[in-house]
Structure 1
Amino acid sequence: MPLSFALFDTLVDAALPADPAAAVGEELRARGVDVPDDWAAAYAETHVDAPEGAEIPLPAHVSRALASRGVTAPGNAARRAVVAAFDPAVRTREGAVAAVAAARERGPVGLLANCAVPELVGRTLVRSDLARDDFDAVVTSVACGWRKPDPRAFERVADALGAAPADLVHVGADPATDGGATAVGGEFVDAGDAVPDS
């Protein structure tokens, strides 16, 4: 049985910035970027015309937000600022390791994470009690280009597991996004029932 897990709020809790615009702005300033006075407003605006369901990498959004105010971030400052701003403390949720291990006994196991920040999923796994090798496939929205609940996100993880999307069982904590597995004929399992919190 091919099974995929969501990461955040399902297998782990991660302390992400309460105010992402402020956190990114601080990291931009630390890299010599002249952050505009109305940065919070610029950050909140849409700057990339993307198809519905597409993931916009946060560094691209930040670069476009700066450009909308006439500011250019040198080199890869936008990416480095975003990665630094989203540098979380991580706690593995009770039952998560056992749930992944039990799933592996039944078939291939994947990770399907909505995440617009490069490197965040990898760093989260390193800081958790889980490992990249616990999963046969790790699919992130920033890498595959589609966010849950878009069916293409579930199709990508099913394909990476060598399975048909209709055979996929997806475990997650957010019915509004993780429940999108049902749109491809798969099954959604609420993590509140599958992976108890401590």
Structure 2
Amino acid sequence: MGVSFDLFGTLVDVAYPTDPGAAVADALSDYGVAVPDDWDDAYREVHIDAPDGAEVPLPAHVAAALRSRGVESPDNAARRAVITAFDPEVTTRPGAVEAVEAAREAGPVGLLSNCSVPELVARTLIRSDLDRRGFDTIVTSVACGWRKPHEQAFEALARGLDTDVSAVTHVGDDPATDGGIEAVGGQFLDVNEVSLSEFASRVRAGETTWR
């Protein structure tokens, strides 16, 4: 059995900026970029035409928003500003470490996260109680190009686990996104219904069916 976990809201809780656009603007200013007066509008507008389910990296969106107002972001300032703005405060959720360890005893383990911010998943894991080495593959939407519930996201995960997606149980907190694995034949376990600690106990008891 292959098991994958969602990260944010499932294994960890992260304190996000209350106003992401303003946080990015502050960081852009720190990196010497002249932020447009109507930045709030520019940040909220769609600037990149992407296919349904595709991930638009936030630095690309920020750079495009600046260009729409005639402002350039030299020296990769958009990327650096986004990474600075989303510097995470991380709390590991109860049972998370135990759940990952139990899953490893049963088979390959992956992490599949919707995240448009480069490096955020890696920095989150470093600041959590989780051991990055406990995952056989780590797939982020910003890296693979697709967001859950798109089937391409789950297929990228399955390739990383070297298994068929139908053999994967995905553990997450959002049926609308994480539950998308069921459309490609896998199983979804909702941590709002089965706690991480209970999941660990049931996996160690040999349970493999969660529907």
State the secondary structure of the residue aligned to 2:100.
helix
Q: Which amino acid aligns with 1:139?
A: V
Q: Which amino acid aligns with 2:37?
A: D
Q: Supply the distance in 2 between the matched residues of 1:35 and 1:145 (Cα, whole angstroms).
A: 28
- Greater Cα radius of gyration, structure 1 or 2: 2
The 5 Å alignment of 1:116-135 reads 116-135=116-135
Structure 1: state its 5+ residue gaps. none
State the secondary structure of the residue aligned to 1:4.
strand
> What is the percentage of aligned positions where both structures have the same residue?
64
Q: Supply the distance in 2 between the matched residues of 1:194 and 1:67 (Cα, whole angstroms).
A: 45
State the secondary structure of the residue aligned to 2:112.
strand
Indicate the residue corresponding to 1:5 in structure 2: 5
Q: Which amino acid aligns with 1:104?
A: R
Q: Supply the distance in 1 between the matched residues of 2:109 and 2:139 (Cα, whole angstroms).
A: 11
Indicate the residue corresponding to 2:51 in structure 1: 51
Residues 41-87 of structure 1: CA deviation (Å, up to 9, x unaligned): 10111111111000000000000000000000111100000000000
State the secondary structure of the residue aligned to 1:124.
helix
What is the deviation of 1:194?
3.3
Residues 142-195 of structure 1: CA deviation (Å, up to 9, x unaligned): 000000010110010011001101111100001110000011110000012132
Indicate the residue corresponding to 1:195 in structure 2: 196
Normalising by the residue count of structure 1, what TM-score does the alignment of the two structures yield?
A: 0.97
1:22 pairs with 2:22: yes
State the secondary structure of the residue aligned to 1:42.
helix
Q: Which amino acid aligns with 1:34?
A: A
State the secondary structure of the residue aligned to 1:176.
coil
1:65 pairs with 2:65: yes
What is the deviation of 1:29?
0.6
Following TM superposition, the consecutive aligned residue runs of length 4 or more in structure 1 with deviations greater than 6 angstroms are: none
Q: Supply the distance in 2 between the matched residues of 1:116 and 1:5 (Cα, whole angstroms).
A: 17
Q: Is the 8 A contact 1:6 1:170 kept in 2?
A: yes
State the secondary structure of the residue aligned to 1:105.
helix
Normalising by the residue count of structure 2, what TM-score does the alignment of the two structures yield?
A: 0.91
Q: Is the 8 A contact 1:27 1:81 kept in 2?
A: yes
Count residues in correspondence.
196
RMSD across aligned positions (CA): 0.8
Q: Which amino acid aligns with 1:165?
A: V
Indicate the residue corresponding to 1:90 in structure 2: 90
Q: Which amino acid aligns with 2:195?
A: A
